[in-house]
């Protein structure tokens, strides 16, 4: 790993690193916030944050205001990039496919399958790197926004023993039935739609046998609410399986980081309860 930057924040440190990813076959960057508790030799739990379309590791760390609460609670936050990067990495002219739009799945179709193995990166490679190099415990939770909310929910649902809790802001809840998801899944996973539901939070939640405590925030003024996000489908799935989902709707809030900043404290406190040793 190479340390790119370090900034003191609320008694802790925000740091950026680059590293070679064997899973993604390219160089990657991530950010980590280490709360002040690590300076006393304590190990701390980790919240993995997955960002949305067009984002990098910087969006959440610069806009959410999460560091103050993370410092109080003693939680490290890890924010990876949203896709592989590099001159030889496949891309698309659209903002919703290719670089910045990895959708947190393992691509099976060329040319995407050479680099776009974001599921394995988030679930296996990145946590192994973090736990080998930073003073963190084995307590993990996961959260995200929009495309990252889709990633957080599906990853937790598919790995209920790896995560203590999961949360999401404005997640793409039913990608097999929305334009963003259909475009990405066709390219990354192929035309065989029988494989798609295993990457759909609503389908996974409807059929869940093991539960991870889950919280979702959704703004009712979100411009993508009806066509792309479909939170009602997620609620119906939770009701069908008895999944412990808390879905909160908020009047007037949109899809922006103003929404995330308004409720990130509640999410961090939610995760802190479940990440107690």
Catalytic residue among 21, 51, 146, 167: 146
222 assigned to active site? yes
**Of 145, 255, 267, 271, which is the active-site residue?**
255
Q: What is the DSSP letter of 115?
A: T
Distance between CA atoms of residues 85 and 122, nearest Å: 15
Q: Which of 57, 81, 200, 222 is an active site residue?
A: 222
Rounded distance, CA 70 to CA 10, Å? 9
Beta strands at 26-34 and 245-250: parallel, antiparallel or unpaired: unpaired
Strand order of the β-sheet with 26-34 is 2-9, 12-21, 26-34, 76-80, 44-50, 136-145, 166-169, 214-219, 245-250
CA distances from 2 to 5, 39, 83, 120, 232 (A): 9, 21, 19, 22, 43
* C-alpha–C-alpha distance, residues 238 and 66, integer Å: 28
Has 146 been annotated as catalytic?
Answer: yes
d(CA 77, CA 32) in angstroms, rounded, equals 6
Residue 255 annotated in active site: yes
Show which residues are catalytic. Answer: 146, 222, 255
């Amino acid at each position: 790993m190479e340390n790119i930057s370090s900034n003191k924040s609320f008694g802790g440190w925000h740091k950026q690193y680059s590293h070679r990813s064997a899973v993604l076959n390219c160089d990657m960057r991530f950010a980590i916030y280490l709360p002040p508790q690590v300076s006393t030799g304590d190990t701390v739990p980790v919240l993995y944050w997955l960002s949305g379309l067009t984002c990098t590791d910087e969006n959440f760390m610069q806009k959410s205001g999460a560091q103050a609460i993370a410092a109080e609670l003693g939680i490290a936050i890890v924010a990876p990039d949203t896709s592989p990067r590099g001159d030889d990495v496949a891309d698309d002219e659209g903002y919703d496919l290719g670089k910045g739009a990895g959708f947190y799945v393992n691509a099976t179709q060329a040319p995407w399958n050479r680099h776009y193995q974001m599921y394995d990166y988030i679930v296996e490679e990145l946590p192994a790197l973090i736990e080998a190099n930073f003073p963190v415990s084995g307590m993990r939770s996961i959260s995200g926004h929009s495309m990252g909310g889709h990633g957080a929910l599906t990853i937790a649902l598919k790995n209920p023993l790896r995560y203590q809790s999961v949360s999401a802001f404005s997640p793409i809840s039913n990608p097999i039935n929305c334009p963003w998801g259909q475009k990405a899944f066709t390219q990354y996973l192929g035309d065989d739609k029988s494989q798609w539901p295993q990457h759909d939070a609503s389908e996974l939640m409807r059929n869940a046998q093991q539960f991870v405590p889950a919280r979702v925030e959704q703004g009712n003024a979100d411009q993508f609410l009806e066509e792309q996000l479909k939170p009602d489908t997620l609620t119906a799935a939770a009701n069908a399986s008895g999944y412990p989902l808390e879905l909160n709707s908020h009047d007037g809030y949109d899809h922006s980081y103003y929404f995330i900043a308004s409720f990130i404290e509640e999410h961090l406190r939610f995760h802190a309860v479940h990440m107690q040793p």
